[in-house]
Amino acid sequence: MDKDNAPLLAKLKWINYIRFSCDTPETRCAVENAVTLLRKNGYAGHPFVYVLVTDVSTANATCEFLRLLGCDPFAQAYQDYTGEDKRTHEQKRFCRFVNNKAVFKSCKWKDYK
């Protein structure tokens, strides 16, 4: 995302969500810059941001950061290519919390039962 393509993306009418990925804490700054550029160019939507869940506390910090940015996070627990399901119960539970928007918008992870 840069100052040249942000105005073009912000004006698109045929796309419901502009999608980003924020898989590590290091990518938060890039996502924040992209969302800021889009908003400066008239985008009023809520960007859809994929969040890779390996460590739940890190993923929660990322989702809270995205919440403050006005983004719509979508959590995906990490799975390798072996086909074996190694997702933990906590990862699955966190993904269910984030991806159920009524729940995510009404409470914080620490309060989720």
Q: How high is the mean pLDDT of the chain?
A: 93
Q: What is the pLDDT of residue 32?
A: 96
**89 residue type, one letter:** H
CA distance 39 to 80: 35
CA distance 12 to 88: 39
* Mean pLDDT score, 15-23: 88
Q: Measured between alpha carbons, how far is residue 52 from residues 44, 73, 82, 92 in Å?
A: 25, 10, 18, 12
Do 74 and 41 form a contact (C-beta atoms < 8 A)?
Answer: no
Q: What is the pLDDT of residue 64?
A: 97
- Considering the entire predicted model, what is its pTM? 0.89
Closest CA to 63 of 30, 19, 17, 95: 95
**Does the pLDDT of residue 1 top 90, yes or no?**
no
Token pair for residue 112? Answer: 């989720």
Task: Give the residue, 81 or 25, on which the prediction is more confident.
Answer: 25
Mind listing the pLDDT tens digit for each residue in 39-84? 999 988 889 999 999 999 999 999 999 999 999 999 999 988 888 8
* Mean pLDDT score, 7-16: 84
Q: What is the pLDDT of residue 44?
A: 87
